[in-house]
Structure 1
Amino acid sequence: MQKFVGMGVALVTPFNNDSSVDFEALKKLVTYNIDNGTDYLVINGTTGESATITKEEKQQIIDTIVATNNNRLPLVLGIGGNNTLEVVKELQTRDLSKIDGILSVAPYYSKPTQEGFYQHYKAIAEATEKPIILYNVPGRTAKNMEPATTLRLAKDFNNIVAVKEAGNNQQQYNSLLKDKPADFLVISGDDDLALGVALAGGSGVISVIGQAFPVEFSKMIQLGLEGKNKEAYAIHFKLMDVIDYIFEENNPAGIKTVLQELGICANNVRLPLVKASEGLHSKIADFVKNF
């Protein structure tokens, strides 16, 4: 699954001032990433505010990105949730002909056991032939999918090809890297840990900050994959502050503020999220100005 090695970006969904989707800004963001070194695009993930996107909007967003991308980069689509039957139904009914892989978040709110995680993903794997990237983000789902469960799934289903691990836990990354099947990808979902994961044997990152600084972040990840830690860390240190800033209040308010300062899209978010505070906006603006 070389198409998911390197830097993927979890695209934001730009909004107009009236909270409608800004499709022109979305096209601009996609083109900016294609032109500046991003390896693949992730649609309708957490950073895309998937929790507040309607079904109709989701299809319009997919159509816009597919058309703008025009087969240039691999596309990963977020299809997940805590209603297993609904996730399976979407996988079986949505047109996935232009989609290269599925990112499926661990069931949130329900707090399943490890066996519950396994059975949820088993149903998903059996519902599609598309490559599946598991997505473990316990800070949002309220329950950690343990490495043993992830590795059990990796060994039992050929189309479960990767995990986006976002527990901000280096030891959990190491457990996955130590025992994973040779062809299974461990992808960082933590921008601050992504380089260390790449250097330790991971396959790259699905990044938030990368969509704003694709040249630099993708270069850092590539250097990490090549084991060139000194050169890679030089880039990491340049980006450290802004990575902290974008997660200081909420995601994606932070990254949308960066993108606004770069002239790519407005910093509008949908409730219950709110825009970055004036203090945070000021710090981000200073960073972008001096980068």
Structure 2
Amino acid sequence: MTQFVGTGVALVTPFKNDLSVDVNALERLVNRVIEKGVEYLVVLGTTAESATLEHEEKQLVIDTVKRVNQNRLPLVLGVGGNNTAAVVRELQSGITEGFDAILSVSPYYNKPTQEGIYRHFGEIARHAEVPVILYNVPGRTASNMQAATVLRLAKEFDNIIGIKEASGDLMQAMHILKDKPKDFLVISGDDALTLPMVLAGGAGVISVIAQGVPDRFSFMVREGLRGNLDVANHWHYQLLNLMELIFEEGNPAGIKAVLAQQGICEPVVRLPLVEASEALHLKLADALSLLTPENSQPL
């Protein structure tokens, strides 16, 4: 599954000021990240505000990304939830046609046991027509998928090919890395922990900040994968402040503020999220100004 090694981008869903999906902005964003060197695209993940999108809007986003991508990069579709039967029905609906894998979040709110998480993903694996990437993000789900559960799934289901690990716990990630099957991908779900995870043996990242600075961030990841520590560390620390700032008032408000400053889309999010404050806009502008070519090591 080398197509998922490197930098995947968790695309935002751009909105107009009237809160409708901004197709033109989404086209600009997709073209930009492809041209700036990322390895694959993730559609309708958490960063896309999928929970606030109607079925027709989700299909519009899918159709737009497919049309603009034109098979240039692999595509991953977010398909998950806390109703196992409903997720299976969605997988059986043909929604994954044209995608290379799905990203499926661990069940949220229900707080299942580890056995419940295992059985949930077992059902998904049995019904998915494309490879499955697990997604562990206990800060959002209120339930951690433990390393033992991840390894059990990785060893028992051939089409579960990796995990987006966003627990923030490097020790947990290292336990997965230590005992995983050879080709199983451990993908960072935290931008700021991407380089440490890569250097520990991880396969890269599914990133938020990479759509704001796609060339620099994907370059950092590639250099880390190549073992070029000095160069990778340079860019990690150049980007660290920006990586922290975009989450200061929640995701995707921060990254949409960055994209707005770059002329990609409006900073609009849907309730219950709110737009980034003016104070955060100013801090983000300052952080971006430090990344001008004259102040940065050339790529």
**Scaled by the length of structure 2, what TM-score is found?**
0.96
The residue identity in structure 2 corresponding to 1:268 is V
Q: Which amino acid aligns with 1:9?
A: V
Please list, as runs of the form range in 1=range in 2, the aligned pairs for 1:1-291 lying within 5 A after superposition: 1-291=1-291
Q: Secondary structure at the match of 1:193?
A: helix
Q: Is the 8 A contact 1:137 1:166 kept in 2?
A: yes
- Secondary structure of the equivalent of 2:192? coil
Q: CA deviation at 1:290?
A: 3.4
**Quick check: 1:7–1:38 contact (8 Å CA) kept in 2?**
yes
Report the equivalent of 2:296: none
In 2: Cα distance, 1:45 partner to 1:232 partner: 27
Consecutive unaligned residues of structure 1, counting only runs of 5 or more, are none
Q: What whole-Å deviation, never above 9, does each CA across 1:176-212 have from its counterpart, x for those lacking one?
A: 1111110100000000000011111000000000111
* Aligned residue type for 2:23: F
Give the superposition deviation at 1:50: 0.9
- The CA deviation at 1:129 is 2.6
In structure 2, C-alpha distance between the alignment counterparts of 1:217 and 1:270, rounded to whole Å? 27
Q: Does structure 1 retain, via aligned residues, the 8 Å contact 2:37–2:214?
A: yes
Distance 1:171 1:145 in 2: 13
Deviation at 1:288, TM superposition (A): 2.0
| Cα distance in structure 1, aligned partners of 2:275 and 2:196 | 31
| Deviation digits for residues 103-148 of structure 1 (CA, Å, limit 9, x no counterpart) | 0000000000000000000000001231000000000000100000
Measured after TM superposition, the shift of residue 96 of structure 1 is 2.2
SS at 2:112's partner residue? coil
Check the 8 A contact 1:188/1:206 in 2, yes or no. yes
Task: Give the deviation of 1:289 after TM superposition.
Answer: 3.0
- State how far apart, in whole Å, the 2-side matches of 1:40 and 1:56 are: 24
Asked if the contact 1:7–1:204 (Cα under 8 Å) also holds between the matched residues in 2, the reply is yes
Per-residue CA distance 1:33-66 (angstroms, 9 max, x = gap) = 1100010000000100011111111111000000
Amino acid at match of 2:86: E
* Percent of matched pairs sharing the same residue: 59
Note if contact 1:257-1:281 (Cα within 8 Å) is conserved in structure 2: yes
2:213 partner amino acid = F
Residues 96 and 102, structure 2, Cα contact 8 Å, conserved in 1: no
Give the aligned length: 291
Give the letter for the 2:76 counterpart. V
Runs of 4+ in 1 over 3 A off after TM superposition: none
Q: CA deviation at 1:78?
A: 0.1
Task: Give distance in 2, aligned partners of 1:227 and 1:168.
Answer: 22
Amino acid at match of 2:120: H
Retained in 1: the 8 A contact 2:108–2:142?
A: yes
Q: CA RMSD for the aligned pairs?
A: 0.7
Q: Are the counterparts in 2 of residues 261 and 288 from structure 1 also a CA contact under 8 Å?
A: no
Aligned to 2:191, the other structure's residue is in SS state coil
